[in-house]
C-alpha cells in the first residue's frame, strides 16, 4: 500500500497493524474550498490520495490529514517556536478536539473510502516553565496543535476521550473497520 504522507507516526501505526508501506509524499497544496471542518479535512485527505492513486491505479493508496479544533477554529502546525508557545497557552486547562480524516483508494478495485474520527483531549493547566521546556524540545514543531501525545507531549494532557491513535495522527480502528466493510480481510493487510 502507498502511504501518501511523510508522517512517521502514521507509518508506525499502519506498520504495527501489518501493512507493508511504500511512502510517497504527494505534491498537494493542503487547501480546500469546503466550508465545514470535517468536509474540508476529508477533502484534503482525498486530494493527497488521489494525487497518487491516479498514477498507481492498481495499488491501494491512503492519505490523511490531522487538525486540532479549539473554539471552532482549526489549529494546524506552528510556524515557529513563538507560535507553538502561543498555541499551548490557548490549549492550557481546556478541552479541544483532534480530527483526523483519511482516504483509501484503489481505482482498479473501485474502492473509495473517506472518513474521519474526532477525539476529545483535555489539557491540564500549563505554566510558562513547562511550555518553554516543551517548545525547547522541538517536538511541537511538526504537529497539529503544537504537541505530540505519543511523546513528551503526554505531560500536557490530563485525559483523552476517544481514540488515542487518532490523536497520534491516524485512527487505525475506524480505518480497519471501514476497509473490512469493503470485503478486505486482516490477512490481506500485508499485501495491500
190 pLDDT exceeds 80?
A: no
Work out the mean pLDDT of the chain and round it to a whole number.
Answer: 94
Domain total for the chain?
A: 1
Q: What is the CATH number of the domain that holds 133?
A: 3.90.950.10
Write out the three cell numbers for 176.
Answer: 480497519
Q: Find the mean pLDDT for residues 92-96.
A: 98
Q: Is 65 among the catalytic positions?
A: yes
161 pLDDT exceeds 80?
A: yes
Q: Are 15 and 165 in contact (CB under 8 A)?
A: no
The separation between CA 175 and the C-alpha centre of its own chain, rounded to angstroms, equals: 12
**pLDDT single digits (tens) 9-67:** 999 999 998 899 999 999 998 889 899 999 999 999 999 999 999 999 999 999 999 99
Distance separating alpha carbons of residues 93 and 81, to the nearest angstrom: 20
pLDDT at site 140: 96
185 pLDDT exceeds 90?
A: no
pLDDT at site 112: 96
28 or 122, greater pLDDT: 122
Q: Which of 98, 32, 31, 25 is nearest to 61 (CA)?
A: 25
Give the range among 8-12, 103-107, 186-190 with minimum mean pLDDT. Answer: 186-190
Q: At what angle do helices 128-136 and 81-91 cross, to 10 degrees?
A: 140
170 or 188, greater pLDDT: 170
Selecting among 27, 65, 83, 115, the annotated active-site residue is 65
Distance separating alpha carbons of residues 9 and 152, to the nearest angstrom: 14
List phi, psi (to 5°) of 38.
-60, -45
Residue 167 binned pLDDT confidence (cut-offs 50, 70, 90): very high
Q: Which of 8, 27, 29, 3 is nearest to 139 (CA)?
A: 8
Domain that holds residue 151: 2-191
pTM: 0.92
Q: Find the mean pLDDT for residues 126-149.
A: 96
List phi, psi (to 5°) of 131.
-60, -45
Residue 184 binned pLDDT confidence (cut-offs 50, 70, 90): confident
Distance separating alpha carbons of residues 117 and 160, to the nearest angstrom: 13
The C-alpha cell 480481510 sits at 185
Bridge partners of residue 65, in order along the sequence: 101
User: Quick count: other Cβ atoms within 10 Å of Cβ 32?
Assistant: 17
Amino acid at each position: 500500500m502507498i502511504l501518501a504522507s511523510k508522517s512517521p507516526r502514521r507509518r508506525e501505526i499502519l506498520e504495527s497493524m501489518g501493512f507493508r508501506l511504500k511512502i510517497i509524499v504527494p505534491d498537494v497544496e493542503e487547501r480546500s474550498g469546503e466550508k465545514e471542518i470535517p468536509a474540508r479535512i476529508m477533502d484534503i485527505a482525498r486530494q493527497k490520495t488521489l494525487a497518487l492513486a491516479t498514477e498507481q491505479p492498481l495499488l491501494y493508496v491512503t492519505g490523511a490529514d490531522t487538525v486540532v479544533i479549539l473554539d471552532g477554529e482549526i489549529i494546524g502546525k506552528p510556524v515557529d517556536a513563538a507560535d507553538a508557545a502561543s498555541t499551548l497557552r490557548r490549549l492550557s486547562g481546556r478541552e479541544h478536539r483532534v480530527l483526523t480524516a483519511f482516504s483509501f483508494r484503489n481505482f482498479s478495485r473501485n474502492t473509495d473510502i473517506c472518513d474521519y474520527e474526532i477525539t476529545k483531549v483535555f489539557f491540564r493547566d500549563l505554566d510558562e516553565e513547562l511550555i518553554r521546556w516543551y517548545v525547547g524540545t522541538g517536538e511541537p514543531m511538526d504537529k497539529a496543535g503544537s504537541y505530540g501525545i505519543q511523546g513528551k507531549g503526554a505531560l500536557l494532557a490530563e485525559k483523552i476521550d476517544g481514540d488515542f491513535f487518532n490523536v497520534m495522527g491516524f485512527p487505525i480502528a475506524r480505518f480497519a473497520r471501514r476497509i473490512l466493510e469493503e470485503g478486505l480481510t486482516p490477512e490481506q493487510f500485508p499485501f495491500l
